[in-house]
Amino acid sequence: MSANSAPDSSRIDSTLPPGPARQRSRQACLPCRRRKRKCDGKLPCNVCQGYDYECEYDETFQIATQKRASSPNQLSHQRAPKFSRVDHSTDTSKQDGGPSILPGVLGPSKARYVGRYSSIAFPLYVGLELQATKLPRLHSFAYHTGIRKEPPCAAHSELTERIIWNTARSLIEVYSAIVNPIFGFLDMDSFYTRCEMHWHGQPQDLIFEAMICGVFALASLFKERIDQGTEMWLTLHAKNIIEDSDLSRFPSLEHIAAWILRTLYLRCTGRPHVTWLSSCTIMHLVEATGLHHAPESVIQAGRNDSNDSPTPPALDTINRIAQVANCLHVLIAFEYGRSILAINRRVLEYADYKSRATDLTPQLCRLVAALPTHQHKEDTAVLAQELFSALEKIAENTVDHDFLVLLRTDLVLGIYRRLRVLDAKYHHGHNEKIISAGVVALPAARKLVSQNQPWWNVVGSVFQFVCALIVMDTPSSYEKLVDAMDTLEFIVGHLDTHLAKEALSTARQLVHASLNKKRKGVEVLQRIVGTETPEAATSTQKADQLTQDMVSLSPLLAGQLPFDLDYLWATHFNLPS
């Protein structure tokens, strides 16, 4: 993520509002040519005037254009542009689970996306309707009474005073080696360059410092290069920055990145409710910056002084941030059983990136993309069918990292829990897929713990697998339960934490509860077998008496006991009188 990039303004292109029919001009102005929009050839043209662009032409054509634009007849017929209309027949937002959304407006100066129908955008719309010479800016006019001043920014740059550059460099290396291959949404080369500048006399902005804190906290979690007190300070310092009301007025890609890093850290160390709230904030920021809409569906208001289209590396970073944000939110909400924010997910679908040799982010996106995000359908049969389909896709996904193996198990078990709640009728093959997904997670969890990589699911995946095996209550599930419990005990012994011990204790309680339930069943069966009819009791007594007679008559025969009494009962013996 480069220091001087402006992804907020270059992410979304403008859309030409419809106007009266016009003839093709001999030459379009430079802004319209860059945007590949129709231009009326005036100076300023109707597009640049409506959106406050700097309208300019090639020098060879500029003089003729100025003469043509100065004609009073042409000026009298010039019409202020309007917002573009929407063809709802092609609207994909309903298919993506969210409400039908009209194209919005993006204010490039503040990177703030709002719906066209919002109170903030309406003054601009009115100005366009009235063909105003000076259009109102995209601003929260009269949002409140203004009787109180807004608090100033309370955060300050302190990071370089707490951590020396050599330590910072080693933490960046840890993050690049462990976290970035899976959640690859940062341009690590650019990140390293800006960090070096930050420590050597060229301070970066506070939001970037929050990003640094998030990277360092995660790196410290996996490799303790700093003490836990400093790690805690990093997380709180980043929180103070990204939650500051003055800084939050200007959402950006870096703001989203800082929240992603905070959410990852919370998922590894925090509570589920707080983590889910943090993931929701990420998605709200995705909406605030307009990343959830395709470029052609957003109107850009105000002047755009930056380049019109992002460079390929910047576009790659934009897509990565949007997709990792979406994946993280869906994972947390799906596991916790909370709502998945219904926004337009068409532009958040996974895409293959072939530029990085060790890049595992596409595998993460493929796993998440297979999940059904509509969790509250009234037709349970349809929902169950979607879950079965997702189970097949996720179980067949190939992944190349132990964390992703555990994550695949988490998703499979999450689907299994939902199917049990729905009381879905699944066949033996589904149980086997679930068990197989859990079995391969056991060595992966052992390996990660042995490498001191405390991903959040090294304990959780194994514990949930134990619970699933117990509740399945089949011979094949109990056969795998021994290895699962051994793995859980190994992990708990290695971690030696309260939460890990608590999970092991709970798993043992469930095993004992299952054993007690089966003992009660056996006792009932024994009572049934022990209740005999008088005829059966007489037969038993006769058989016992015959056995005693055989013992008394033939010691040799007694040495061959036990034998088939039913056979002997039907045999006639010629005994001496």
Contact partners, residue 53, CB within 8 Å, separation at least 6: 31, 44, 47, 303, 304
pLDDT digits (tens, 9 = 90+) for 53-91: 677 776 544 444 444 444 433 333 333 333 333 333 334
Strand ranges of the sheet holding 112-115, from the earlier edge strand across to the other edge: 112-115, 104-107, 298-300
The dihedral over CA atoms of 498, 500, 506, 510, expressed in degrees to the nearest 10, equals -170
Please name the residue that has the structure tokens 């009235």: 130
User: Contacts by 179-183 with C-beta closer than 8 Å and gap 24+?
Assistant: 179/218, 179/219, 179/222, 179/264, 181/358, 181/359, 181/360, 181/361, 181/401, 182/360, 182/361, 182/364, 182/401, 182/403, 182/404, 183/260, 183/264, 183/324, 183/328, 183/361, 183/364
Decide if 332 contacts 22 (C-beta within 8 A): no
258: nearest Cα among 271, 247, 242 = 242
409: nearest Cα among 348, 466, 453 = 466
* Distance from chain centroid for Cα 310: 25
What pLDDT is stored for residue 537 in this prediction? 59
What pLDDT is stored for residue 143 in this prediction? 85
Determine phi and psi for 304, rounding to 5 degrees.
Answer: -120, 105
CA distance 126 to 315: 33
Decide if 293 contacts 104 (C-beta within 8 A): yes
Q: Which residues pair with 103 in a beta bridge?
A: none
104, containing H or E segment: strand 104-107
Decide if 128 contacts 80 (C-beta within 8 A): yes
Token couple for 275: 């983590």
CATH fold group of domain 19-77: CD2-Gal4 (4.10.240)
78: nearest Cα among 14, 136, 128 = 128
Decide if 96 contacts 345 (C-beta within 8 A): yes
Q: Which CATH number fits domain 370-509: 1.10.1200, 1.10.60, 1.25.40, 2.60.40?
A: 1.25.40
451: nearest Cα among 195, 177, 116 = 177
298, containing H or E segment: strand 298-300
Determine phi and psi for 435, rounding to 5 degrees.
Answer: -65, -40
* Distance from chain centroid for Cα 159: 29
pTM (two decimals): 0.72
Q: How far is CA 252 from CA 5, 207, 233, 330, in A?
A: 11, 9, 24, 21
Decide if 46 contacts 40 (C-beta within 8 A): yes
Decide if 466 contacts 484 (C-beta within 8 A): yes
Please name the residue that has the structure tokens 């309260």: 498
11: nearest Cα among 343, 262, 316 = 316
Residues of the chain below pLDDT 50: 1-25, 60-101, 109-110, 303-308, 355, 550-551, 553-554, 556-577
Share in percent of the chain as helix, strand, coil (round to 5) = 60, 0, 40
